[in-house]
A = this chain, B = another copy of it.
Amino acid sequence: MFELADVSRHTIHRMALYHSVLKIMKENGVSIVVSSDLGRRTGIQPHVVRKDFSCFGEFGTKGVGYQIEYLLRRIEKILGYDTVWNAVLVCHGMPALPSVVYSYWPPAVNILSVIDLSGQNVGLPVDNLDLAVEQCENLVEIINTRNISIGIISTPPSYIQETVNHLIKAGIQGIVNFSAYPVFVPDSVAIIQVNVASLFSQMTFQLKHVPTKVPATERSAAE
């Protein structure tokens, strides 16, 4: 279908962005889009849009634009959104689902089990999910019988690496680390780090050191 070596992390990120924007366009009844319009809506240069698409073969007809419905299906196939990936969320204490985040959850990831390492909340229902908290002792069985491929980790730092090792031993294929602490996995396991603290530090660094171009007083005057 395409050469993996041609696909960078940045291309994947932008494909996810095109997908979000195209979905809204489709919902609003738009059926065709040109690269300059998609570029404008995503803040990405039109030639980059075309280059991203070209990694994966032909997507549209020159001069006509792209059929949004077809484009969405192709992107979903590329990003793996056409498959449901089952996940287990491992917490310590009462699992609190990242609701703000959850509202923008990718369509393809489905949390099938929530585990509390402390064991204190086993049996309690989980907010926003039709699930009850389960215990760690059943982890291997849960992963194998429910076809779970992704482990989402949200535990205090002292438990993180141990939890990851446990998940990998149980046969997990991918780890999502929601903590600010690095975890280590073998090459055979996929990993993404959702380090919110580090993302926020980009903001506080900028606010502290980069002078804003419009002083606060001018901004107030412009109201």
**Interface range, A side:** 35 or more
Report the minimum CB–CB distance from A144 to chain B (whole Å).
Answer: 7
Task: Pick from A104, A144, A158, A199 the residue with the most CB of B within 10 Å.
Answer: A104
Task: Kindly identify, within residues 136 to 194 of chain A, every residue whose CB is under 8 Å from any CB belonging to chain B.
Answer: 140, 144, 149-150, 154, 157-158, 169-171, 173-174, 176, 178-182, 184, 186-190, 192, 194
* Given A101-B98, A179-B104, A197-B104, also A12-B205 (CB < 8 A): yes
Q: Which residues of chain B come closer than 8 Å to A178, judged between CB atoms? A: 100-101, 104
Contact B204 A176 (CB under 8 A): no
Q: How far is the CA of A157 from the CA of B207 in the complex (A)?
A: 26
8 Å CB contact of A206 from B190, B194, B220: B190
Q: Which residue of B lies closest to A189 (CB)?
A: B212
A62 within 8 A of B: no
Q: Does A43 lie at the interface of the complex (its beta carbon under 8 Å from any beta carbon of B)?
A: yes
Residues of B with C-beta under 8 A to A180:
16-17, 20, 104
**What chain B residues lie within 8 Å of A171 (beta carbons)?**
216, 219-220, 223
Is the C-beta of A61 less than 8 angstroms from some C-beta in chain B? no
A120 at the interface (CB under 8 A from B): no
New A-B pairs, 7, CB < 8 Å, besides A4-B210, A13-B198, A101-B101: A13-B202, A85-B204, A101-B196, A150-B207, A171-B220, A176-B199, A190-B207
9 residue pairs of the A-B complex, CB under 8 angstroms, read A4-B209, A16-B201, A43-B184, A98-B196, A104-B178, A104-B179, A104-B197, A171-B220, A173-B207
10 tightest A-B CB contacts, nearest first: A96-B99, A80-B204, A80-B208, A16-B198, A98-B100, A16-B201, A188-B213, A20-B180, A188-B214, A106-B200
